[in-house]
Structure 1
Amino acid sequence: MIVADDKIVRFSYSISDEQGQLLESNQGEKAVAYLHGHDNMMPGVEAMLEGKAAGETVEALLPAAQTFGDRQDGLEQRVPVKHLQGATKWQAGMTALVHTEQGPRQVTVLKVGKFMANVDMNYPLSGKTLKFNITILDVRDASDEEIAHGHAHGDGGHQH
């Protein structure tokens, strides 16, 4: 089956910087699943998978605007250290998870004090040209319910 609108696509991926340094991967972990053509995936990733089939591996160098977006100025915030999740001792440059009104968000720690930390709310990979290596594990027709809900259900997708 071919990747097209209203198909559920499951894939594994790795993301590297332009120099080839691995930045993120789900190899050996649970696959990502999404409903193609419903704005559930980064535009550049959706475009590179369009028309491909299960079993194919696709590689592309994508600009920030097609993936995690450009960096935005003025997104530095001061938050209590106790709200940073992911480590017990914090240093500048580390990535933390912070719960916001919009849900969990990865941030970069800029400066740490005893009780407060300055963080950059930009996603850590924003503003970077990135190399995506994606293996399509399977492609299937979306159910009527998945199309109505606008997302994949089940393994790797949304759990109700």
Structure 2
Amino acid sequence: MNVSEGKSVTVHYVLKLENGRVYESTLEEDPLVYTHGQGEIIKGMEKELTGMSIGQQKTFIVEPEEGYGEVTLDALLEVPREHVPMEARMVGEKITAVGPKGQKVEGFVYEDKRKTLVIDFNHPLAGMTLYFEVSVVDIQEPEPA
């Protein structure tokens, strides 16, 4: 059986950044389980996994446009200082906000302009080339609805 549309796929992976640093790994924890073709993982990873079989391993690179996208200036928001919790008012601090559809969005304080703070809501991996090592652990037919 091969990785294809609608299949429940279980993989172990190591994600490294351009400098070779491991950013994320499932090797010491539970593997990732996702439904192929549903957009649950980044496009580039899904594309590379297509057609793989159980036990197969692969190393590949995902460019930003098929990963977490490019860094965009639209994701930088300037907000009044008083709208940010006291403990998060320093450059580099993480902040969680509520998006336009009520979803939680994470960002970090990018710049302190005294009366306002610039919050960066780009994904932390936006603009980065990603280096993956994956192994397919299991492939299952989808559960009947």
TM-score band (shorter)? 0.7 to 0.9
> Does the CA-based 8 Å contact 2:88-2:109 persist in structure 1?
no
**Structure 2: segments with no counterpart, 5+ residues:** none
Q: Matched residues, percent identical?
A: 22
Q: Give 1:69 deviation, angstroms.
A: 1.0
1:49-128 counterparts in 2 under 5 A?
49-77=49-77, 78=79, 80-82=83-85, 91-102=90-101, 103-111=103-111, 117-128=117-128
C-alpha distance in 2 between matches for 1:90 and 1:132: 35
Aligned position for 1:19: 19
Amino acid in structure 2 at the alignment position of 1:12? H
TM-score (norm 1): 0.72
> Does the CA-based 8 Å contact 2:88-2:94 persist in structure 1?
no
Q: What CA deviation, in whole Å up to 9, does each residue of 1:71-115 have, x standing for no partner?
A: 1123212273339xxxx5664234444332442223232135899
Q: What CA deviation, in whole Å up to 9, does each residue of 1:48-82 have, x standing for no partner?
A: 11111222232211100011111112321227333
C-alpha distance in 1 between matches for 2:6 and 2:121: 33
Q: 1:37 to 1:28 in 2, by over 3 A?
A: same
Amino acid in structure 2 at the alignment position of 1:111? E
* CA root-mean-square deviation: 2.7
Q: Give 1:47 deviation, angstroms.
A: 1.1
**Structure 1: segments with no counterpart, 5+ residues:** 146-160
Structure number with bigger Rg: 2
The DSSP-based 3-state class of the residue aligned with 1:65 is helix
C-alpha distance in 2 between matches for 1:67 and 1:130: 7
C-alpha distance in 2 between matches for 1:120 and 1:45: 25
Q: Give 1:32 deviation, angstroms.
A: 2.2
C-alpha distance in 2 between matches for 1:114 and 1:72: 23
Aligned length: 141
> Does the CA-based 8 Å contact 1:95-1:124 persist in structure 2?
no
